[in-house]
Structure 1
Amino acid sequence: MHFAMTDEQRMIVETTRAFVETELYPHEAEIERTGHLPMELIRELQAKAMAAGLYAANMPEDVGGAGLDTLSWLLYEKELGRANYALHWTCVARPSNILLAGTPEQREKYLVPCMKGETWDCLAMTEPGAGSDLRGMSASARQDGTDWVLNGTKHFISHADIAGFTIAFMATGEEDTPRGRKKKITAFFVDKGTKGFTVREGYRNVAHRGYTNAILEFDDCRIPAENVLGEVHKGFEVAGKWLGATRLQVAATCLGRADRALAHALSWAAERRQFGQQIGKFQGIGFKLADMATELKAAELLTWEAGWKYDAGTVTEADMAMAKLKASEMLAMVADEAIQIHGGMGLMDELPLERIWRDARLERIWEGTSEIQRHIISREMLRPLGG
């Protein structure tokens, strides 16, 4: 592993950071105030992101993406992560790489429009009664002739309001496992506007304002067999193969926000004076800064190593779980300490710290809770010992 960035990686970081600071930061206050991201602004920033070569940069070159290796992609994600989540995710979209699992016809119908910025994808897994236990989902699909009929409810589905379609994971049978009977899962493309498929407004969220969630309802929703993504009953395997790196994506965006919060704290500690000296010279503040920087560095190294190992083909589930766990919990600590260093001013919306602090809470929940990450790590440690 090399710890120095290549010239290309340095250019990616500089280009992305300049875009974030110039094009995204100016709109943060309005998005935070209204909780709304207007479509006209999305289209404006989308065009600028495309012109800068930043749109859909996570995807391979053969489908129109930047073809970044995993480590370079994570460096890019860190820089985007500095900004309000709705702004960077919606306006500088990164289509889900699960779309690469589709047939040539499915790629043409679903992936290509996402790459062109004509629409967005969304994944529907979580249910009111099945969060971390995806194999316990109750939403189901049954075969009827050559069609499939879908029924059930999904919730917490990110940006489903603007997505042109969803990839819905549905129970399509059961199988015996060492831990009892579990659902067989199949993934389906479901186009918005399909009869029996309804997208309802989701919940109000204190985190990531402007980044919406929705409730999806399937009521005898009939779709053709060609809308199956991957193989029937193999949806869980498709998700495992293509979505593992999303934990690294969460880790990387956490790094960006933590870096921004630390920079504000450091600047304040150097400028703010109390009792005749900079507050950073007081041990109580200086030690906080040292701990924040150390935790951030540790999370960075875990994330960069996992990205490097991903490309080398040696990454493990525990590697990615460690990165996500450490980065998300580090962000919570750094955001909280940055506010503590600022005192009351840290909670005012003139600074981004209160937003970073609020947003940080969600990172320990989505894409696998901290408890799930710890389970993955400990399970991998115990397996060689027969655990």
Structure 2
Amino acid sequence: MEYQISHENELVLNTVRAFMEEELLPHEEEVDRLGEVPEDLGRQIEARAKEVGLFAANLPEDVGGGGLNYSAMALVEREYGKTSHALHSWIARPTEILLACDDAQREEYLAPCVSGEKRELFALTEPEAGSDVMGMKSTARKDGDDWILNGSKHFISGPCMPDFAIVFAATGVDETPRGPRKRVTAFLVDVGLPGFDIQEGNKCVSYRGYKTYQLAFDDVRIGPDKMLGVEGRGLELAGKWLGMGRIWVGATCCGKAERLLEMATDWAASRKQFGKPIGQFQATGFRLADMTMGLRAADLMVTDAVQRADAGALRDEDAAMVKVFCSEMLNRVADDTVQIFGGMGLMEELPVQRLWRDSRLERIWDGTSEIQRHIITRSILRPLGA
């Protein structure tokens, strides 16, 4: 979907495509087979990304980032979606929540992430809470000027072992019109602190090589200078990042769907049964038509959301609509592509089965489809008092 792209964004897109062809796509099969990105390959991707200006491209220029606006980042993320998250995650896009750092924290955490000296994890999800953020059991209690952190996190993803984690914990309870509500606060917690244990977690069949981590905190003492933002405002910070994160998931889904659709179309035009290309059979041709319409609609939804974000008018439900629609569109495209390929669609010799597996995760992470529908439903009913 490339109509009405500015000259500047066209240059960015060409840079990303060339980078993908040279640095990412040639390694897909190896990474999927090994179940990991070799350290030297990851560092090579990281170094080359810095050379061409893609590293930390999402952050403002005044903090050392590439300064790409939302419309440019949507094109970038869409293109990245055509390959494995395990590979393109080495091209760091530090979480924008780090922009909430104060001056000292910017020097210690934000600047090193922009330069690539440090890597962070966004640690929100817990084993027993999952999508129920307010059900989190991690706590931080005051001890003099310090905080004592206890609890655990899981499914915290990243390309490699981080240097620190942005950890969310309950620091108290507030009374609200809707009843008691946990006061959630964000902290910057360095790996290696006494009581902080971090290990690689479960291995996922989607995006093999993209790691998940399990974090455990046992009376971890952190200073007052490690609080990110204001006490009790952690979920507001998280919400700002999660909203755009869901838009980027939508964009990557569109990119992956485009790649799958191209494969399905080529196969339908060349594979013959009963003396003619299978695409001429209505059962296959209509699948291609539906896939094309779904992708067009998803692209338009991403474009609309990006325009809302540029105008400062993006709402939670806007991001939720993009996330659920694009991820479910991708899953239909992936499944239809396998069906069009028939048995060959499930053979390891072809990339279709890998893209099919990778596509399944999109309906789960960054908020499941059920959570997105809950957000949308709430936005419909709350103004009516329901």
Using the size of structure 2 for normalisation, the TM-score is 0.97
Alignment deviations for residues 301-355 of structure 1 (CA, whole Å, 9 cap, x no partner): 0011100110012222111111111110011000000111011111122222211
Q: Does residue 343 of structure 2 align to residue 324 of structure 1?
A: no
| Mapped contact 1:161–1:212 kept (Cα < 8 A) | yes
| Mapped contact 1:161–1:214 kept (Cα < 8 A) | no
Report what 1:80 is aligned to: 80
Task: Return the offset for 1:178.
Answer: 4.1
Runs (5+) with no aligned partner, structure 2: none
Per the alignment, in what secondary structure is the counterpart of residue 203 of structure 1?
Answer: coil
Q: Partners of 2:78 and 2:158 in 1: how far apart? A: 21
Q: Does residue 14 of structure 2 align to residue 4 of structure 1?
A: no
Report what 1:93 is aligned to: 92
Alignment deviations for residues 353-382 of structure 1 (CA, whole Å, 9 cap, x no partner): 211111122111111111111111122122
Aligned-partner residue type, residue 333 of structure 1: R
Q: Does residue 312 of structure 2 align to residue 313 of structure 1?
A: yes
Q: Partners of 2:74 and 2:346 in 1: how far apart? A: 29
Report what 2:291 is aligned to: 292
Q: Partners of 2:257 and 2:106 in 1: how far apart? A: 36
| Mapped contact 1:81–1:256 kept (Cα < 8 A) | yes
Report what 2:57 is aligned to: 57
Per the alignment, in what secondary structure is the counterpart of residue 170 of structure 2?
Answer: strand
Report what 1:159 is aligned to: 158
Per the alignment, in what secondary structure is the counterpart of residue 293 of structure 2?
Answer: helix
Q: Does residue 221 of structure 2 align to residue 222 of structure 1?
A: yes
The correspondence of residues 327-346 of structure 1 with structure 2, limited to 5 A, is 327-346=326-345
Q: Does residue 172 of structure 2 align to residue 173 of structure 1?
A: yes
Q: Does residue 348 of structure 2 align to residue 349 of structure 1?
A: yes
Alignment deviations for residues 163-187 of structure 1 (CA, whole Å, 9 cap, x no partner): 1000100011112234432211111
Report what 2:377 is aligned to: 378
Q: Partners of 2:351 and 2:63 in 1: how far apart? A: 36
Report what 1:255 is aligned to: 254
Q: Does residue 21 of structure 2 align to residue 27 of structure 1?
A: no
Aligned-partner residue type, residue 15 of structure 1: T
Report what 1:39 is aligned to: 39
Question: Structure 1 pair 373/69, CA: closer, same or farther in 2 (3 Å)?
Answer: same
Aligned-partner residue type, residue 311 of structure 1: D
Q: Partners of 2:188 and 2:327 in 1: how far apart? A: 31
* CA RMSD in angstroms, aligned pairs only: 1.4
Aligned-partner residue type, residue 28 of structure 1: E
The correspondence of residues 229-244 of structure 1 with structure 2, limited to 5 A, is 229-244=228-243
Aligned-partner residue type, residue 181 of structure 1: P
Alignment deviations for residues 214-236 of structure 1 (CA, whole Å, 9 cap, x no partner): 11010010010000000112111
Report what 2:205 is aligned to: 206
Report what 2:136 is aligned to: 137
Task: Return the offset for 1:71.
Answer: 1.5
Report what 1:283 is aligned to: 282
Task: Return the offset for 1:242.
Answer: 3.5
Aligned-partner residue type, residue 17 of structure 1: R
Aligned-partner residue type, residue 296 of structure 2: K
| Mapped contact 2:58–2:67 kept (Cα < 8 A) | yes
Task: Return the offset for 1:24.
Answer: 0.4
Q: Partners of 1:349 and 1:304 in 2: how far apart? A: 34
Moved more, 227-236 or 61-70: 61-70
Moved more, 15-24 or 319-328: 15-24
Per the alignment, in what secondary structure is the counterpart of residue 122 of structure 1?
Answer: strand
Q: Partners of 2:142 and 2:333 in 1: how far apart? A: 50
Q: Partners of 1:352 and 1:369 in 2: how far apart? A: 26
Report what 1:118 is aligned to: 117
Task: Return the offset for 1:51.
Answer: 1.3
| Mapped contact 2:247–2:319 kept (Cα < 8 A) | yes
Q: Partners of 1:71 and 1:42 in 2: how far apart? A: 27
Task: Return the offset for 1:254.
Answer: 0.9
Using the size of structure 1 for normalisation, the TM-score is 0.96
| Mapped contact 1:184–1:233 kept (Cα < 8 A) | yes
Question: Structure 1 pair 161/21, CA: closer, same or farther in 2 (3 Å)?
Answer: closer
Aligned-partner residue type, residue 63 of structure 1: V
Aligned-partner residue type, residue 60 of structure 2: P
Q: Partners of 1:207 and 1:232 in 2: how far apart? A: 36
| Mapped contact 2:257–2:295 kept (Cα < 8 A) | yes
Q: Partners of 1:160 and 1:151 in 2: how far apart? A: 25
Q: Partners of 2:38 and 2:307 in 1: how far apart? A: 37
| Mapped contact 1:136–1:182 kept (Cα < 8 A) | no
Q: Partners of 2:219 and 2:159 in 1: how far apart? A: 20
Alignment deviations for residues 102-153 of structure 1 (CA, whole Å, 9 cap, x no partner): 1011111111111111221101111111111111111101110111110111
| Mapped contact 2:86–2:159 kept (Cα < 8 A) | no
Task: Return the offset for 1:289.
Answer: 0.4
Question: Structure 1 pair 161/141, CA: closer, same or farther in 2 (3 Å)?
Answer: farther
Report what 1:301 is aligned to: 300
Task: Return the offset for 1:383.
Answer: 2.9
Aligned-partner residue type, residue 296 of structure 1: L
Report what 1:127 is aligned to: 126
Per the alignment, in what secondary structure is the counterpart of residue 120 of structure 2?
Answer: coil
Per the alignment, in what secondary structure is the counterpart of residue 204 of structure 1?
Answer: coil
Moved more, 140-149 or 9-18: 9-18
Task: Return the offset for 1:159.
Answer: 2.1
Identity of aligned residues (%): 53
Moved more, 345-354 or 266-275: 345-354
